[in-house]
């Protein structure tokens, strides 16, 4: 196991013995998700030596441990992004750490720009596949064979069974759930209209600045992965207005109740 993960786990085990089944990364719109959890313990990222701390407004950082129904979960309230200047290794450290805590499932959520024609601002989309070609691969460097294989298969990154549960939950709750292929770019600038036309041509439905590197890391370690994007805005050139971080946050807030319900009711069935 990664030496930094070993050291951080030693510290975490002085604070809690909690073993999560599900690790949930909270994106825009799910910031208050912890209100629905029976909280057992919280650990601020700032307590964790060398742990990356977000510099983005609205992304305050801590791990929250607790139960959703009978399911033990750890939530990441706040995550770091590559564009903040962290290395990809640092960006995926939280995923490695949650795996070391015992999490078997990584549930990724994010706000994304919508490229597909069926989306509108506020759409929820199940991530069915991804495009990682524009960000460094998180597995570059020496491979630890105890963790995973050198050349991991990425044919089924987003677990089919988990997708089935999420689709069925959305249907039972009468929540419209679209689907799509998510493409991670570095940011922090939003895309140009020409870049969005290019991304559509190569098969991207959703564009954002997170998620894919975490998903690759988790699959490599043998975790089951699922993800949902909140379409916070239509992508550049499709949207009639200029893109802004404020719009992303406002859409997140507006969709929060539905998004929260879908994630919560899905996880209790995992
Ligand atoms: N592009 C990239 N990332 C994003 C967007 C977008 O339009 N919206 C939210 N995150």
Q: Which of 30, 113, 121, 197 to mutate to test the pocket of ligand 1 (most atoms within 8 A of CB)?
A: 113
Pocket lining: 213 vs ligand 1, CB cutoff 6 Å:
no
Distances (CA, A) of 162 to 14, 166, 208: 32, 6, 22
Number of domains in the chain: 1
Query: For residue 29, what is the domain's CATH number?
Result: 3.40.50.1580
Query: In the numeric block, which tokens belong to residue 97?
Result: 């750490």
The bridge status of strand 105-114 relative to strand 206-208 is antiparallel
d(CA 127, CA 110): 10
Residue 111 Cα to ligand 1 midpoint, Å, equals: 7
Distances (CA, A) of 5 to 171, 210, 215: 39, 21, 18
Decide if 111 is catalytic: yes
Lowest mean pLDDT among 27-36, 106-115, 140-149, 158-167: 27-36
Decide if 84 is catalytic: yes
Using CA positions, which residue lies closest to atom 6 of ligand 1? 113
Instruction: Give the tens place of pLDDT for each residue, 47-86.
Output: 999 888 877 665 558 999 999 999 999 999 988 899 999 9
Instruction: Give the tens place of pLDDT for each residue, 223-258.
Output: 999 999 999 999 998 878 888 888 777 877 888 889
Using CA positions, which residue lies closest to atom 7 of ligand 1? 113
Domain that holds residue 186: 3-267
d(CA 258, CA 122): 10
Instruction: Give the tens place of pLDDT for each residue, 136-193.
Output: 999 999 999 999 999 999 999 999 999 999 999 999 999 999 999 999 999 999 999 9
The secondary structure of residue 17, as a DSSP letter, is -
d(CA 109, CA 73): 15
């Amino acid at each position: 196991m990664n030496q930094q993960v070993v050291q951080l786990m030693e510290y975490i085990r002085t604070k809690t013995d909690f073993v999560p089944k599900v690790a949930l990364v909270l994106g825009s719109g799910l910031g208050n998700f912890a209100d629905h959890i029976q909280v057992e313990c919280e650990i601020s990222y700032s307590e964790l030596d060398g742990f990356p701390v977000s510099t983005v407004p609205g992304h305050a950082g801590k791990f929250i441990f607790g139960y959703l129904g009978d399911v033990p979960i750890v939530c990441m309230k706040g995550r770091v992004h590559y564009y903040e200047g962290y290395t990809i290794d640092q960006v995926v450290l939280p995923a490695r750490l949650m795996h070391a805590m015992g999490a078997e499932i990584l549930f990724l959520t994010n706000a994304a720009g919508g490229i597909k024609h069926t989306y509108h601002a506020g759409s929820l989309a199940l991530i069915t596949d991804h495009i990682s070609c524009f960000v460094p691969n998180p597995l570059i460097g020496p491979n630890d064979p105890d963790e995973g294989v050198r050349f991991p298969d990425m044919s089924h990154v987003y677990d089919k069974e988990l997708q089935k549960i999420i689709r069925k939950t959305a249907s039972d709750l009468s929540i419209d759930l679209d689907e799509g292929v998510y493409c991670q770019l570095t940011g922090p600038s939003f895309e140009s209209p020409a870049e969005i036309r290019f991304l559509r041509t190569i098969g991207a439905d959703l564009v954002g600045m997170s998620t894919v590197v975490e998903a690759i890391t988790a699959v490599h370690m043998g975790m089951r992965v699922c993800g949902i994007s909140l379409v916070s805005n239509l992508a550049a050139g499709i949207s009639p207005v200029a893109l802004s971080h404020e719009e992303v946050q406002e859409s997140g807030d507006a969709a929060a109740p539905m998004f929260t319900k879908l994630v919560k009711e899905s996880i209790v069935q995992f």
